[in-house]
Amino acid sequence: MEITSEIADVTTTRLFLQDLLKKKWNFPAIRGQAEAKVNILGHPRSPDIEVKFISSPFSFGRFVLKEASGQFRITSGRFYGLFSFKDPDLTGETEVKIDSSGLSAFLALKNGDWSKALAGLELRFPLRGRFEGPFRLTIDSRGQYKINGEFLSPKMILLGQLITQASGQIYYADKTFNLKGFTGELARGKIAGEASFDLSREIYSVDFSGRSLQLDQLVSGFKGQLALNLKGAGILGQDKVGGNFEIKDLAISLYKKPLLKGLADILIRRQGLEARLIPSDQKEDNFEIQIFFFLLSASIFNSGKGPGQSSNHHSLERNFWQFKLSF
């Protein structure tokens, strides 16, 4: 039997077919309006269903898209589909397989928006910008999901900082977010690193390095080229990340230094971070630089204490920075 029709409500149609065929399909809800061709084949007690459709709007699980098209087949409770989708914030193609053990999907994404993708996965992470890449998504029968993939991002904003030409691998499972092989450009310099965050247990690990970072791009009133290496693991808000830093041609108001070296430590919290840069030679350079970053605020407050005291305010959406130089 073949049915060709315009479907005003995909959710209602799915429930109708489940009642008609005495079947309950264990896969995420498909919602929207569609023009579809439906084939029902085989024995009435265990039929095969083939569907070709064009839908606008379209949603699958937590993802809501402007339009999608494709085809899928349901055989003996197993779902197999090929979809292409277009949206201002997410475009690509996907292959989806669903059975009693769960869902497995391969996605080739283009022009993706980090905020929309993370919201669709119910992940809260301070990341914005565009990306593309191949990803694998699995959801087991309990609703627990895993993600792994590679990304390229020409421009992204992480913790309020603009990073360009970024790339890396993402892994997410058991409420743990992992970033591997990350590289990018920040403040006209190069950065690289790996990180892991398990927000359910409040633990993390970080291995980060940067070189030739221009301080005036990071901190108003500071000049110089920053290089640093940071590494550490522990409990959020309790254990610090530590390492070394080096600043060439440092200039802060009237204070100038051709080369400044020392120790750095950072305390990472859910709400932001606290960092300190402490010169190695405290007899000659008896001061430290403190940096405070907070999420969900509307300004940066930059204060300096010492020769040529200064205080500057700059607007920045959803973030608050405070810098202190104490002699």
Q: Which residue has the higher pLDDT, 60 or 130?
A: 130
Predicted confidence band at 23 (pLDDT cuts at 50, 70, 90)? low
Predicted confidence band at 219 (pLDDT cuts at 50, 70, 90)? confident
Predicted confidence band at 18 (pLDDT cuts at 50, 70, 90)? low
60 lies in a domain?
A: yes
Ordered DSSP codes for 35-47: EEEEEEES-TTS-
44 lies in a domain?
A: yes
Nearest-CA neighbor of 214 among 253, 245, 187, 247?
187
CA distances from 124 to 22, 105, 257, 269 (A): 39, 22, 41, 14
pTM over 0.95: no
Mean pLDDT of the chain: 79
Predicted pLDDT at 293 = 66
Residue-wise pLDDT for 137-159, tens only, equals 998 878 788 999 999 999 998 87
**Alpha-carbon span 9 to 29, nearest angstrom:** 12
> Which domain range does residue 14 map to?
1-87
Predicted pLDDT at 136 = 95
Assess whether pLDDT exceeds 80 at residue 22: no
194 lies in a domain?
A: no
Nearest-CA neighbor of 244 among 258, 232, 255?
232
Predicted pLDDT at 21 = 57
Q: Which residue has the tokens 């593309």?
A: 132
Predicted pLDDT at 304 = 34
100 lies in a domain?
A: no
248 lies in a domain?
A: no
Assess whether pLDDT exceeds 70 at residue 9: no
Residue-wise pLDDT for 63-77, tens only, equals 788 898 989 888 887
What are 158's two structure tokens? 């992480």
Predicted confidence band at 197 (pLDDT cuts at 50, 70, 90)? confident
C-beta pairs of 238-247 under 8 Å, 24+ apart in sequence: 238/267, 239/267, 240/265, 240/266, 240/267, 241/206, 241/208, 241/265, 241/266, 241/267, 241/268, 242/266, 245/277, 247/215
Greatest C-alpha distance within the chain: 88
31 lies in a domain?
A: yes
Give the lowest-confidence range in 80-89, 119-128, 131-140, 166-175.
Answer: 119-128
Q: How many structural domains does the chain have?
A: 1
In the chain, % of residues over pLDDT 90: 35
CA distances from 40 to 2, 6, 12, 20, 53 (A): 6, 17, 18, 11, 15
105 lies in a domain?
A: no
177 lies in a domain?
A: no
